[in-house]
Structure 1
């Protein structure tokens, strides 16, 4: 941001042919205008672009019909002898009958400055398409406790992630400030340099950084009420520590990371932080306010990488035409069921 120019009486110009001094009020008005005019002149001279108008995302779905659900989700649901309708109803019932859980959702949403419907949408989407909901909130606490004593670490082929990110290829991330910038940078280095490549005699899978290093049980595993993956938790730990006061997470303490994302209270905080980040980055990068469309925030919660997606959308919209983000199958359900979900609040 440019500094405002500092002006003094000597910066103003008084023509010699003016014989009578101006009225005191006129002089005062002129003095108030001078800094404003100076700032405008400076901005024009510097060629600074005007801030683009923030466009408010329309409510509802862009697609008339639900986009196709991935085969893995279909197979998982069939294997559990269930249906998407049954799973939706089960999680809706959990939210409808557990006032303690709804109270936590509302208070967490307030802390992060978001509408609680975004959190409800993400929970419904995860438990409809990815996992089954437990019948009671207490079951999530019990499940979290089961992980507390486990001894495991984040590693690939015997190399811990802490040692891995100490490789020279990651030196470009050394000056990154904050957990989100740091781990996003490291994920980018993985994608560009290691993913699907052989480096230093080690062959690395053509898979996501989070799947290779941060899921010691099986790839694709997410946890808890918010179905957070460990890499996402490490990215958001600074925000959650600042807003909610939880301890910062460390990649060397895998058990603590799992404990955090399995615990319902902390899981809700991480969920809210993720959603808040998506809303902020679409506003600042793509000049689009998505805060009125829970189907879009749910979609981003499901597919991740909001920074890259916002940048890609911004690039498309530079031509002058306006394209809106589109919901996927998961976000589509949230918007379709929005009246029912809002009634829970």
Structure 2
């Protein structure tokens, strides 16, 4: 991967609000001069659709440009969660450029939401409902977790450690993500709605969204309500914002980096997930570097976040 720590990405140390410890503010811009390589799967999907990444970007840009109500919703939700609207815009643009095509009108997302909820959904694997699965003794360490984010993050970690790619009690579990195994009742790899959230992420963010936006808490036993939430634009945008805010908070609290001025980094984390684990990994790397006299490693964007930062001036002009 070709990199250069260019002037647009100068980090300066400041005191984080209300804290005695220093956080390193990461300015806007890309670490990589050239865009990191786009995964083959994304390229194949785009080619199969007889389109291009640029065409898909232009399509989602047009949706944002032509729909003042959508822009208004984004600004309002961003204000509620104390983040720049560009973080939400970056997540939407990245998803619809590299993963799915945008619809021409916001109304289509409402229509699709209704069409997908005509049947009873279930979160399960090989006939075992997720609500029963997480009662297994391997998940006992999660019992003390009270918040939805900590609870489902703990369960995801137990899956990775104790079930992923293993045979347990006679059942062979796939070497795949927790969300892909239990939370995809339609078909493999799907996410839905303008924010392209997966159900596990929505469940993690349920308490925060309830607290900030007043939306009802999600119940894993009611998959239809979960899917309605991630597919309805009026309901899903707070979940997108909460997910992005969680990444910003994790990097500041754990790794000591304030990424709130860099939508490309939050878009990257929105794409790859597990912000806390990645923040801890970055912290460990920098502790190692400090001990050996090496320069500090700053967070960097992937191909998805690179595009967001590269087009940021154009996207900001819409708002």
Q: TM-score, normalised by structure 1?
A: 0.84
SS of structure 2 residue aligned to 1:54: strand
1:147 shift after superposition: 2.4
2:72 corresponds to 1:103: yes
- Bigger drift between 303-312 and 213-222 goes to 213-222
Of 151, 160, 165, the match for 1:191: 160
Of 101, 108, 117, the match for 1:132: 101
1:148 shift after superposition: 2.9
- Partners of 2:263 and 2:140 lie apart in 1 by 38
Q: Decide which structure has the larger Cα Rg and report it.
A: 1
2:25 corresponds to 1:56: yes
Q: 1:284: which partner in 2?
A: 253
Q: 1:7: which partner in 2?
A: none
Matches within 5 A, 1:26-45: none
How many residues in Structure 1 have an aligned counterpart in Structure 2? 296
Matches within 5 A, 1:218-297: 218-297=187-266
1:59 shift after superposition: 1.8
Q: 1:338: which partner in 2?
A: 312
For structure 1, the residue ranges without an aligned partner over 5 or more in a row are 1-49
Of 317, 321, 326, the match for 2:300: 326
- Partners of 1:264 and 1:112 lie apart in 2 by 16
CA RMSD in angstroms, aligned pairs only: 1.0
1:58 shift after superposition: 2.5
Q: 2:10: which partner in 1?
A: none
1:139 shift after superposition: 0.6
SS of structure 2 residue aligned to 1:150: coil
Q: CA distance change for structure 1 residues 51 and 322 in 2, over 3 Å: closer, same or farther?
A: farther
Q: Retained in 2: the 8 A contact 1:61–1:327? A: yes
1:315 shift after superposition: 1.2
Q: Retained in 2: the 8 A contact 1:149–1:255? A: no
Offset from partner CA, 1:93-124 (integer Å, 9 cap, x none): 11011000000000000000000011111111
- Partners of 2:119 and 2:87 lie apart in 1 by 32
SS of structure 2 residue aligned to 1:247: coil
- Partners of 1:92 and 1:134 lie apart in 2 by 11
- Partners of 1:147 and 1:244 lie apart in 2 by 25
